[in-house]
Structure 1
Amino acid sequence: MVHGAGDLRVEEVAGREPGPGEVLVRVAYGGVCGSDLHYFHDGAVGDFAVREPLVLGHEVVGRVSAGGLAVGTAVGIHPATPCGACQECRSDRRNICASSNYLGSAAHYPHIQGGFVEELIVPANQVRVLPAGLELRTAVLAEPLSVAIHAVRQAGDDAVAGKRVLVTGAGPIGLLVVAALRKSGAAEIVVTDLHEAPLALAAEVGATRTIRAGTQDPGDWAEVAIEASGTAGGLRTCLERVRRGGTVVQVGSLPGGDTAFPGSLLMTRELRLVGAFRFDHEFDTAIAWLADGLPVEPIVTHVFPLAEARKAFELAGDRTIASKVLLEISGDTRS
C-alpha cells in the first residue's frame, strides 16, 4: 500500500466475503508495473495523483477460494471494470472508457484499490480460467502482454507483418512488444535502450537488432515505430526514424503535463501518431499466446515475498539489473 511518494507499507486490511456475482481469489503472483513504480517514487502516474492510501497492483494471478468456480481453479484477472454504457463502451473501445475502474489506480477518487493483497474479490466477468499447463509465474505476464498486443494492433491491421519495426525502450512493456511483434510476423525488429541488460533480453525474446541509444544509427527507415520508454527522447527517435507516411504508436507512459517533440515532422512527413492505452479483448489473446509457448520467460528476472515488497520495488526501478519483478503474495504458487 502506498501512502505517498516513497511511502510504501505492507499492512493488514479488513477483508470481506464475496457477494453475488463476485469471486474470491487467493493471489499467487503480482507483477510490479511501471505505473506501480511511479506511484511509489512520485506519488502519481502522469496526472493521476495519490490522494489516499492505495493498494497497488493490477498484474495478478491466483486460485479461486470462493465464488462461482471450483475452489483451487487457476485464474487470471482482467483488471478493468468499464461502465458498459458510454459511447466508447458501445463502440467496443472499453479500454478508453472514462468511467472505467482499474485495479490499483488513482485515476478516480475514492481510488480503486489494487491486487497486491492475499485475497482479492473481483466481479466474476473479470476472471479468466487459465489453460491447463500454463504456469502461474508465466500467466502473470498476461496483463502487460495485453498492453503490448494492443500497442501492436494500434499500428493498424496487418501493419507490421513482413515490415521493419523500431521499438524504443526495452523495459518489460517494450520487451513484450518485441515478443508480440515477432508473433505478428514482423520481419525486422530494431530495439533501442540506454542499458545493455535490457537489450540482451530483447534479443532473447525476438529482436533482430539491438542498439545502445546514442551510440549507433538505427539504420534504414522503419515502417512502424513503437515508443515504449515513456520519454520525450524516445518519442523523438520514433518520429525521426519512421519513414514518410509511417506510423508511431505511443505506449510508454509519458510524464504528466506537456511533452516537447518535433511536431513539424508530423506535418511535413505526414506521419500518423496514435496512442495505445491499456487493452480489452487482448487479455484473452495474451493468455492463449502464453499457453501456446510464447517465449517470454526471460523477462521475469526477480521474485520477492510480499514481506519484502519495498526491496522488490527498489530493485524494479533499477533497469541495469531488473526487468519484470514479481511479488509472491499469498505463498500459494503451486502449478
Structure 2
Amino acid sequence: MQTRVCRLHAQRDLHVETQPVAAPEPGQVLVAIGAGGICGSDLHYYQDGGFGPVRVREPIILGHEAAGTVVALGEGVSGLAEGDRVAISPSHPCGKCKYCEQGLYNHCLDMRFLGSAMRMPHENGLFRDRVAVAAGQCHKIAPEISIGEAACCEPLSVCTHARSLAGDLSGAKVLVTGAGPIGALCTALAAEAGASEIVVTDLQDVPLAVAAKMGATRTINMSHDAAALAAYGADKGYFDVCFECTAAAPAIRSAIEALRPLATLVQVGVAGDVAVPLNMIVAKEIVLKGSHRFHPEFAEAVDLINRRAVDVRPIITQTYPLEEAEAAFEIAGDRTAAVKVQLAFA
C-alpha cells in the first residue's frame, strides 16, 4: 500500500510524492490523517530552507499539527480502537534524561519532534495520508469536533504552556503582540482565563479581525495607529501581562513600554538574536519569561477544544487538498489574506 506525502527537498522545492505505508509496530497505531495545519516553522523551511541554525539538510516530510482516524492497531495497544478520531502530539521526549526525570519534558536532551529538521536524520512529519505513531501520542477528540479543529491542538498546546507561565489572568489587563495563529490562540486563552482587557496588535487587518473573534477587547493596527498603543505607556505603563508573539524588536520594545512595573512578558515568538531594551526591563522590574514548546499541555489543549472552551474555528482561514500543497504554502505566507492554512487529506 502506498501513501502520499508532502516532502520538502530544499528551499521552495516541495513535492507531493508516494511511498510505502509502514505497518504499526508494537505500541503504535496507524492513523489516516484528515487535516494538518501549516505552522510558522513549516513556512520557514519552505520559504528560507530553515530558521536560525536549523537547516533542511535532506528531504523531509513536513507537518506537526495534525489529526486523523485510527485505522489499525499495533500489538499491545489498549485504550484506542479502529475508528477513533485522534489529535496527534508531535512531541516525543526520551523519558530518561535529567530534564525528563524532573518532568521538564519540553527540555528533553533527546527530543524527537515530528516534522523537525533539528536532528540528523531529520524527523519526518505528519503531512501524509497514513502514518504510524506511538499510541501514547494520540488523544481522542469529541464527536462534535471537526478534524480541522482537532489539528489545532498542537498550536493551542504551545499557547497553553505560555499561559501557564503568565500567572493568574483573572481580571488581568493583557497585551498580545502579533495576531497570527499563536497570538490569536493566546488571546482566546486569556479570555478563557477571565482577563478583563485583551488588546491585540498586528500590522495587518485580516489577523486582527480574527483576533477580535477570539476574544480581543481591542485591536490595534500598528502600521497606521501605533500611537494608540503608545498611549498605554503613560505613567510607566498599563498592562499586567504581555504575550509577545512576533519576536520583532520594535514589537518587543513597544510591549515593554506598555507594561506596568512588575508586569510579566511571556516571549512566545522565536527568531534570531534580537535587541531588547534591557534598561527599561530593569527599571520597571519586568519579569521576562521564555516559553518553549509544551508536553503535558497537549492533553489540556485537547480538553479545551473538545469542550469548545476555546473555539479554534475562526483561525482556520483556508483549507487546501494535499495535491495543492504548494499553493497552500504560498497563501499561508501571505499575512494579508491568511491566519491558519490547513491541508486536507483523503
**What's 1:191 paired with?**
200
The 2-side partners of 1:240 and 1:5 are apart by: 37
Instruction: Determine whether 1:148 maps to 2:159.
Output: yes
**What's 1:320 paired with?**
336
What are the ranges of 5 or more consecutive residues in structure 2 without an aligned counterpart? 1-6, 233-237
Instruction: Determine whether 1:56 maps to 2:56.
Output: no
- Aligned ranges for residues 173-184 of structure 1 at < 5 Å? 173-184=182-193
**What's 2:219 paired with?**
210
Instruction: Describe the SS at the equivalent of 2:242.
Output: strand
TM-superposed deviation, 1:268: 1.8
Instruction: Describe the SS at the equivalent of 1:9.
Output: strand
The 1-side partners of 2:53 and 2:184 are apart by: 25
Instruction: Determine whether 1:88 maps to 2:99.
Output: yes
Contact 1:56–1:104 under 8 Å retained in 2: yes
TM-superposed deviation, 1:169: 0.2
What is the CA RMSD across the aligned residues, in angstroms?
Answer: 1.2
Instruction: Describe the SS at the equivalent of 1:145.
Output: helix
**What's 1:248 paired with?**
265
Contact 1:46–1:253 under 8 Å retained in 2: no
**What's 2:327 paired with?**
311
The 2-side partners of 1:193 and 1:314 are apart by: 20
TM-superposed deviation, 1:14: 3.0
TM-superposed deviation, 1:89: 1.1
Deviation digits for residues 273-307 of structure 1 (CA, Å, limit 9, x no counterpart): 11111111111111111121223211101110000
- Aligned ranges for residues 42-81 of structure 1 at < 5 Å? 42-67=48-73, 68=77, 69-81=80-92
The 1-side partners of 2:295 and 2:130 are apart by: 24
The 2-side partners of 1:38 and 1:175 are apart by: 20
Instruction: Describe the SS at the equivalent of 1:266.
Output: helix
The 1-side partners of 2:69 and 2:311 are apart by: 24
Instruction: Describe the SS at the equivalent of 2:195.
Output: coil
Contact 2:89–2:298 under 8 Å retained in 1: yes
The 1-side partners of 2:31 and 2:59 are apart by: 22
The 1-side partners of 2:8 and 2:210 are apart by: 30
TM-superposed deviation, 1:227: 0.6
TM-superposed deviation, 1:30: 0.3
The 1-side partners of 2:297 and 2:277 are apart by: 31
**What's 2:240 paired with?**
223
- Greater relative CO, 1 or 2 (CA 8 Å, sep 6+): 1
TM-superposed deviation, 1:147: 0.8
The equivalent position to 2:283 in structure 1, one of 237, 251, 268, is: 268
Contact 2:89–2:137 under 8 Å retained in 1: yes
TM-superposed deviation, 1:34: 0.7
Contact 2:97–2:108 under 8 Å retained in 1: yes
The 2-side partners of 1:86 and 1:271 are apart by: 32
The equivalent position to 1:131 in structure 2, one of 129, 142, 167, is: 142
Contact 1:29–1:326 under 8 Å retained in 2: yes
The 2-side partners of 1:191 and 1:5 are apart by: 32
The equivalent position to 2:300 in structure 1, one of 285, 303, 313, is: 285
TM-superposed deviation, 1:80: 0.7
Instruction: Describe the SS at the equivalent of 2:9.
Output: strand
The 2-side partners of 1:222 and 1:189 are apart by: 9
**What's 2:46 paired with?**
40
The 1-side partners of 2:10 and 2:262 are apart by: 43
Contact 2:66–2:87 under 8 Å retained in 1: yes
Instruction: Describe the SS at the equivalent of 1:109.
Output: coil
**What's 1:24 paired with?**
30
Taking structure 1 as the reference length, what is the TM-score of the superposition?
Answer: 0.94
TM-superposed deviation, 1:46: 2.8
Contact 1:2–1:56 under 8 Å retained in 2: yes
Instruction: Describe the SS at the equivalent of 1:217.
Output: helix
Instruction: Describe the SS at the equivalent of 1:279.
Output: coil
The 2-side partners of 1:230 and 1:5 are apart by: 22
Deviation digits for residues 206-251 of structure 1 (CA, Å, limit 9, x no counterpart): 0001001151332431111111123222222222211111111111
The 1-side partners of 2:193 and 2:108 are apart by: 27
Taking structure 2 as the reference length, what is the TM-score of the superposition?
Answer: 0.91
What are the ranges of 5 or more consecutive residues in structure 1 without an aligned counterpart? none
The 1-side partners of 2:35 and 2:170 are apart by: 33
The 1-side partners of 2:43 and 2:201 are apart by: 22
Instruction: Describe the SS at the equivalent of 2:269.
Output: coil
The equivalent position to 1:296 in structure 2, one of 297, 312, 331, is: 312
**What's 1:101 paired with?**
112
Give me the identity figure in percent: 44
Contact 1:174–1:228 under 8 Å retained in 2: yes
